[in-house]
Amino acid sequence: MTLHLNASESVSQKILSFLESLTKQGDSIEIIDDSIYKFEKNGILQGLKQVENAEVYSSDELIKALNS
């Protein structure tokens, strides 16, 4: 499950504290802040634009270009 949360600073701190307690119990949680979310979203949008413009290359083509 993915959850994007917009909350006040005090609520955010309580939620992060709770999540930290879960990780101490062995549960797996990945926390992505706004800056990482925006960075990843931009990368996805750029990739989709490249697909639309047929700017996609096979791994063999990429390796050949890098080794040139």
DSSP letter string, 3-43: ------HHHHHHHHHHHHHHHHTT-------HHHHHHHHHH
Structure tokens at 4: 């994007």
Q: pLDDT for 27-60, tens place per residue?
A: 888 877 778 888 999 999 999 999 999 998 899 9
In the chain, where the domains are located: 1-31, 32-68
Instruction: Give the C-alpha separation, 17 to 25, whole Å.
Output: 13
Q: Considering only CA atoms, which of 37, 55, 35 is closest in space to residue 47?
A: 55
Give dist(CA 54, CA 11) in Å, integer: 45
pTM of the entire structure? 0.48
What is the band of 26 on the pLDDT scale with cuts at 50, 70, 90?
confident
